[in-house]
């Protein structure tokens, strides 16, 4: 299959996943069901949305960010999640092609994305989502080219240990949900990519926080959600990790060669 068709397919798939995970995050925070026959509704008027209202990005643009039925404004977060999903799907397909590496990278990136959405909305990581990420990591690593299970378990241990140490040193300044998330992510990424994800995520969060402090938009004691920056660090690692590690003469190992 031509590479551009692969990228196009996963771009469209990523947009759909972004839309779906945004619903999962919102309903999980609200404590309502996101599976089964539950239909999407306008958050303002409660009208059940049809397929024309749910085409990722396109529906939001054509409707000019408003509900077809009541004219109420639809928050950009819906289109934003779809755009982010499209970008992740397309870029990861471009980077890894049709491979087990692509499946692992998609599971890691979209798993982190889902948890970033719940962290932004509620400041909470639901333990079930990192658990699913870990299970996916074990299954995918059993496939040819998926790397070793040992690397996945070492990634889980490394991710959990780093965050657990921060929690203990900060005396609860960070939640244990962040530790379970890095453990689940570690199974997918392995220990080298997990540590690089943490490093890039902490750096991105630090730069962002310093910028807000300098602009007077953030106080010294204000909390900043960590998971969105871990998600950014994870995506950067999945795109550029092998190159970054090569600068230090480190072999990323399977499946990231």
pLDDT at residue number 172? 65
Give yes or no: residues 219 and 104 share one domain: yes
Same domain, 1 and 123: no
Asked if residue 148 and residue 246 are part of one domain, the reply reads yes
118 with 131, same domain: the answer is yes
Say whether both 53 and 108 belong to one domain: no
Q: From 70, 98, 126, give the residue that closes a domain.
A: 98
CA distances 207 to 39, 203, 220, Å, are 40, 6, 14
CA 38 to chain centre: 24
Q: What is the rounded CA–CA span in Å between residue 116 and residue 124?
A: 9
Buried b (16+ CB within 10 A) or exposed e, 171-192: eeebbebbbbbbbbbbbbbbbb
Angle at 88 between CA 188 and CA 126, to 5 degrees: 55
pLDDT at 1: 53
CB 97 within 8 A of CB 6: yes
- Of 98, 116, 141, the last residue of a domain is 98
* Inter-residue long-range contacts of 34-37, CB under 8 Å, 24+ positions, other chains counted: none
pLDDT at residue 54, rounded to an integer: 84
pLDDT at 217: 80
Residues in the chain: 257
Q: Could you tell me if 111 and 89 lie in one domain?
A: no
pLDDT given for residue 35 in this prediction: 72
Entry pTM: 0.92
Residue 173's pLDDT is what?
A: 66
Q: Are residues 187 and 233 in the same domain?
A: yes
Ordered per-residue pLDDT tens for the chain, 257 residues = 568 999 999 999 999 999 999 999 988 998 887 776 677 777 778 778 887 888 899 988 988 888 888 888 888 889 999 999 999 999 999 999 999 999 999 999 999 999 999 999 888 899 999 999 999 999 999 999 999 999 999 999 999 999 999 988 887 667 788 999 999 999 999 999 999 999 999 999 999 888 888 887 877 777 788 999 999 999 999 999 999 999 999 999 999 98
**Domain limits for position 64:** 1-98
Instruction: For residues 127 and 181, give the distance between their C-alpha atoms in angstroms, rounded to a whole number.
Output: 7
**Residue 134 and residue 154 in one domain:** yes
């Amino acid at each position: 299959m031509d590479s551009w068709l692969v990228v196009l397919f996963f771009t469209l798939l990523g947009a759909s996943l972004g839309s779906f995970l945004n619903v999962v995050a919102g309903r999980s925070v609200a404590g309502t069901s996101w599976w089964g026959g539950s239909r999407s509704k306008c958050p303002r008027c409660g009208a059940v949305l049809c397929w024309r209202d749910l085409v990722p990005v396109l529906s939001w643009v054509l409707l000019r960010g408003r509900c077809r039925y009541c004219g109420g404004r639809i928050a950009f977060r819906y289109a934003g999640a779809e755009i982010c999903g499209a970008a992740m799907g397309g870029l990861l397909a471009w980077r890894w092609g049709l491979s087990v590496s692509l499946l692992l990278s998609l599971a890691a990136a979209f798993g982190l994305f889902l948890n970033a959405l719940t962290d932004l909305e509620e400041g909470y990581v639901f333990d079930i989502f990192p658990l699913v990420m870990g299970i996916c990591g074990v299954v995918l690593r059993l496939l040819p080219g998926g790397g070793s299970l040992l690397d996945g378990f070492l990634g889980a241990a490394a991710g959990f240990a780093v965050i657990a140490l921060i929690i203990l040193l900060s005396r609860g300044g960070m939640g244990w949900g962040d530790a379970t998330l890095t453990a689940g992510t570690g199974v997918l990424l392995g220990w080298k990519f997990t540590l690089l994800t943490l490093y890039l995520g902490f750096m991105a969060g630090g730069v962002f926080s310093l910028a807000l402090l300098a602009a007077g938009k953030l106080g010294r004691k204000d909390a900043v959600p960590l998971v969105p920056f871990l998600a950014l660090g994870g995506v950067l690692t999945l795109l550029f990790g092998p190159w970054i590690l090569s600068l230090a003469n480190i072999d990323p190992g399977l499946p990231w060669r």
